[in-house]
Chain A
Amino acid sequence: MNEKNLRNEIAKNPLMILLLGACPAMGATATLLGSVGMGAAVLLVMLLSGIVMAALKNIVPACARIPACVLVIAGFASIMQMLMNAFLPEIYQLLGVYVAVVAVDLLVFSAVDGKGSVGAAVSAAVKTGLVFLVILCVMGVVREVLGSASIAGQEIAFLKDYRIPVLTMAPGGLMVYGIVAAVVSKLAPAGAMCTDLACCKKSEEVEQ
């Protein structure tokens, strides 16, 4: 994948255009560990439910697709929650209610449409999920280093007196997210990203 493709892929990520999945994204990024855990959880849930929904494509009637999709995603999210609770209790504690909220994550929902083939579902899930993971890690590093003067739980001594506590709280998360979105929109190739929300809405309506 060359550089332009990569930029395009990042700019097209639903997290960046439509704010889908913003809730777990910001809830998790107060620390780097939380971001990695959340990114991996979303990637896995998206991949597994994408495969299941693509496999069930011919069985589920069109009118039942949305509820079926929601329930499959919620099922995998519950499994993920239990696995995390069992094997990664520290990260589970860190993420709290946001792990459960992956069940109603619109980012996952938008990637899992259950219309294409299994292969298409896998590639869509991996692409969206990896970009999501990387963006989350960037936000996590910024918020943890500047907000609580530590990285992945290790304290950074010289930054201790200069930390900005607001970054670990809700408004700080929104600010960092805004700055990351601005950087992405600056780097995006022209036309790849619609900065106007109305035009995104329109393109979504056409799809429906």
Chain B
Amino acid sequence: MEKSMFAIVLSGILLNNYALQNYLGISALLGTAKDAKKSAVLGGAVTVVMVLSAAVCWPVDHFVLSAFGLEYLRTLVFVAIILAAAYLVSAVVKTVVKKPLGIWFPLVALNSAVLGAALNNAAEGLNFLQAVVSALAAGLGFLLAIVVFSGVCDRIEEQHVPRAFRGLPVRLMAAAIIGLALYAF
């Protein structure tokens, strides 16, 4: 079944948003600061790692793992590739922006959205271009979710929230409502 590029992009960003519809990468989403700018940097880093790792994972999967019937090693190999990509991106960030990723490094390297994207691409049998485009779309979807979410969190007036719901629980509720809104598409 040939999927059109448009369908891949639209489903990656909105319909099948990894963070809000599939929980993938939700820890990174909920753990970020209220500052939209910082969140955008994190989202951007995740997007770049996603595209990079998709571009490496596809040939590795196609020419090595599938060719020799080693599909069961996908998780392990993909995790190693993503780790390498994350180190590369964090080194680039360190030299270019002069600010290390620091505490965010695990949120990028151990992001379930990145692994989920690589595994889904492999399971769906997309071709190289489709795999990279769908990873890009998934990353942009994550970026969208994280920026929208940090904006929403910024507007939550903590004083008006019941004590038990302050902090994490109210953020979860906010994320649930954003997720519901996406069902409208």
Contact = CB atoms under 8 A, between A and B. Distances in A.
A159 to B, nearest CB: 22
Interface in A147-206: 166, 169-175, 177-179, 181-183, 185-186, 194-197, 201, 204-205
B79 interface: yes
Nearest to B80: A71
Given A17-B168, A100-B119, 5 more contacts: A22-B27, A97-B22, A106-B107, A181-B168, A185-B168
Contact of B27 (A23, A186, A197, A201): A23
Contacts of B180: 166, 171
A170 B21 contact: yes
B79 A74 contact: yes
A49 to B, nearest CB: 13
Contact of B31 (A19, A26, A71): A19
Interface centre among A20, A81, A104 (most CB of B within 10 A): A104
| Pairs A-B, 6 closest by C-beta atoms | A178-B172, A195-B167, A174-B176, A171-B179, A74-B79, A182-B169
Contact of A174 (B74, B106, B109, B173): B173
A71 B79 CA distance: 7
B75 A195 contact: no
Given A27-B23, A100-B115, A195 B176 contact: no
A108 B105 CA distance: 16
Interface string A84-114: 0000000000000110110111100100000
What range describes how many residues of A lie at the interface?
35 or more
A61 interface: no
Interface in B123-150: 123
B40 interface: no
A74 B75 contact: yes
Contacts of B179: 170-171, 174
A57 to B, nearest CB: 20
Nearest to A24: B112
A101 to B, nearest CB: 4
Nearest to B110: A104
A174 B172 contact: yes
Contacts of A146: none
A54 interface: no
A197 B31 contact: yes
Given A27-B23, A109-B106, A175-B176, A181 B83 contact: no
Contacts of A66: 106, 109
Contacts of B112: 23-24, 101, 104-105
A177 B25 CA distance: 16
A197 B167 contact: yes
Contact of B75 (A20, A21, A78, A171): A78
A192 to B, nearest CB: 13
Nearest to B173: A178
B168 A19 contact: yes
A75 interface: yes
Of A18, A24, A175, the most chain B CB neighbours within 10 A belong to: A175
B58 to A, nearest CB: 17
Given A109-B106, A175-B172, A208-B103, A74 B80 contact: yes
B75 A196 contact: no
Contacts of B82: 104
A175 B20 CA distance: 12
